[in-house]
Structure 1
Amino acid sequence: MGKLFASLQPEHEEFIRKQRIFFVGSAPLDPIGHVNLSPKGYDVLRLLSPTEVAYLDLTGSGNETSAHLLENGRLTFMFVAFEGNPLILRLYGTGRVILPDTPEWEALAPQFSLYPGARQIIHARLHAVKTSCGYSVPYFDYAGERDQLQTWAVHKGDSLPAYRKEKNAVSMDGLPTPLGLRLDEELS
């Protein structure tokens, strides 16, 4: 049932644009390190080309993907049909972190709505796209976006950098993040 492609096809792009949620997977090189799987909501994903995607990453309680990308670059995206015809679509690639106040940020950021708490852009170059059936995925109805993350980020205000230093500077396995390295430089 599954098919492998070298790049996104027009039907893949159409499917991705309809999705309200996607998942990002990454892992450290250490075999006892923790594999990370992170759900992403809001309108944060951009299809830049058939082999290039990016998403605006918002401040959260961890920053695992960022640490894994700095260490090894491996990244997988997964999209699932919760309505309509069944389908699972995975994008395999290498990713990197783009921080605010860099030329790359200035070039990519205008393509996004900059939600409160935006901390970085994750950019990926794809080397494989794979479809699978999704026959066992149940139907779910979309009821709307949660506003708690944006409300929380606005409430944090000027204390957001301190929160990021505490919660987003290293992974749960102790790997540094680009954001953490920048914060260390700024405080030195």
Structure 2
Amino acid sequence: MGKQFDALSDAHRSFIEAQHMFFCGTAAAEGRVNISPKGMDSLRVLGPNRIIWLNMTGSGNETAGHLAETPRMTLMWCSFDRRPQILRTYGTARTLHRDAADWDEMLGHFGDRLGARQIYELRIDLVQTSCGYSIPFMEFTGDRDTLTRWNEDKGEAAIRDYWDTRNRKTIDGLPTGIDANLG
């Protein structure tokens, strides 16, 4: 059933690109483990051992705080349609804030989006597939535009204020490094 690989194959990449969402898991040395669903065409596979994903403004900022202390990350995709499969990538990740030397280059993979908060780069050291036989069938009916509209309604200055007041620390009090975006 489950298989492990050193890198993503073309078949793995095709599977990833066919999914409408993924999940990100991170944890600091102590405190809560965070698992977040992600969507909005925010992920790019740049090679067999490299993935980047664009993190939009949200109510929490756990991933950035966790990676500042412990740079482990797991990404997971699961199929909700005909093909039962789960795929996980494990590795070491870094957070790119807007002041990173390669921010513009990395953002170019997505286009500049209002509310873009961080970009995460995962260097993969293990890929694992498993059956997904218990995953229910679900039908994709479309992407939500709620976050895009929220960002447009707020505007850039209010988004930065939101980062300043709501995204500086994780729920366990770890700093997220968001001040790099505020300067």
> Is there any run of 5+ residues in structure 1 with no aligned partner, and where?
none
Tell me the residue number matched to 1:155.
Answer: 153
Instruction: Tell me if structure 2 keeps the 8 A contact 1:97–1:178.
Output: no
Match of 1:40 among 33, 38, 41: 38
Instruction: Tell me if structure 2 keeps the 8 A contact 1:99–1:121.
Output: yes
Instruction: Tell me if structure 1 keeps the 8 A contact 2:99–2:181.
Output: no
Rounded Cα–Cα distance in structure 2 between residues aligned with 1:51 and 1:94: 11
4+ aligned runs moved over 6 Å, structure 1: none
AA aligned opposite 1:27: A
Shift of 1:102: 2.8
Alignment of 1:77-92 (within 5 A): 77-92=75-90
Shift of 1:115: 2.7
Q: What SS class does the counterpart of residue 154 from structure 2 fall into?
A: helix
Normalised by the length of structure 2, the TM-score is: 0.96
> Is there any run of 5+ residues in structure 2 with no aligned partner, and where?
none
Does 2:182 correspond to 1:169? no
Rounded Cα–Cα distance in structure 2 between residues aligned with 1:183 and 1:44: 19
User: What percent of counterpart residues are identical?
Assistant: 43
Instruction: Tell me if structure 1 keeps the 8 A contact 2:54–2:116.
Output: yes
Instruction: Tell me if structure 2 keeps the 8 A contact 1:44–1:113.
Output: no
Normalised by the length of structure 1, the TM-score is: 0.93
Match of 1:98 among 92, 96, 99: 96
Shift of 1:114: 2.8
Rounded Cα–Cα distance in structure 1 between residues aligned with 2:89 and 2:100: 26
Superposition RMSD in Å: 1.2
Q: What SS class does the counterpart of residue 87 from structure 2 fall into?
A: strand
Instruction: Give a deviation string over 1:46-100, Cα, whole Å, max 9, x none.
Output: 0011000000100000100111111110100000010121000000011111112
Instruction: Tell me if structure 2 keeps the 8 A contact 1:87–1:134.
Output: yes
